[in-house]
Amino acid sequence: MLKKQDTSKIRNKAGFLLKAIKENWVHPEFATQRKTSKTTRKEAELQRLQQEKTELEAEFNRHVHETCHHIALERPDLVAQSVQAVLDEQPFYRQLYDYSHTPVENYHQRPALAALVHAKLREYFPPSFTAVEEHYHKQLTALDQEIATLLTSNTSDR
């Protein structure tokens, strides 16, 4: 503060500093620097939360895939039934289907078909997925709330 003031106008430096402290004077450059660093920290936190959410969603999808894979190993007849149901509901996927292979082989070789079969298996075995869905849903909801809170505080700071 003293650097910005004309020294000829300040008679008592100690008194000037005491008044500045009591009245909480802030240097304009310092205020903008503090606001910028605060915004940068919030943006970094937001990015971290969004990355964490993406990782959590990927972990959930891996877990669903593993569970479906185990079901496919134990119940290949159900996979064949699911593949047939998908082909009946969405004829487009008949183009991707290789009739020289079994439905289970097609399930393992065609990721697009596997994703639809996973949805069918989740319908057939809801108890196998309910606990996992609830667990991840709680975590995703908490992350969404943190992100929303951070976004609302970001908009109110501006």
Q: What is the mean pLDDT of each run of 10 residues along the chain (158 residues)?
A: 57 74 74 75 90 94 90 89 90 86 89 89 86 89 90 69
Asked if residues 80 and 104 have their Cβ atoms less than 8 Å apart, the reply is: yes
Which pLDDT score, from 0 to 100, does residue 95 have?
85
Asked if residues 71 and 121 have their Cβ atoms less than 8 Å apart, the reply is: yes
Which pLDDT score, from 0 to 100, does residue 48 have?
93
- The answer to whether position 36 is within a domain reads no
- N-terminal to C-terminal alpha carbon distance within the chain: 26
- The answer to whether position 40 is within a domain reads no
Among residues 113, 85, 81, the alpha carbon closest in space to that of 98 is found at 113
Which pLDDT score, from 0 to 100, does residue 142 have?
92
Among residues 143, 155, 156, the alpha carbon closest in space to that of 45 is found at 143
- The answer to whether position 7 is within a domain reads no
- The answer to whether position 104 is within a domain reads yes
The number of CA neighbours under 13 Å toward the Cβ of 114 is 18
- The answer to whether position 24 is within a domain reads no
Which pLDDT score, from 0 to 100, does residue 15 have?
77
Overall number of domains in the chain: 1
pTM, rounded to two decimals:
0.64
Owner of token pair 């005491």: 18
Q: What is the DSSP letter of 101?
A: S
- The answer to whether position 116 is within a domain reads yes
Domain span holding position 85:
46-157
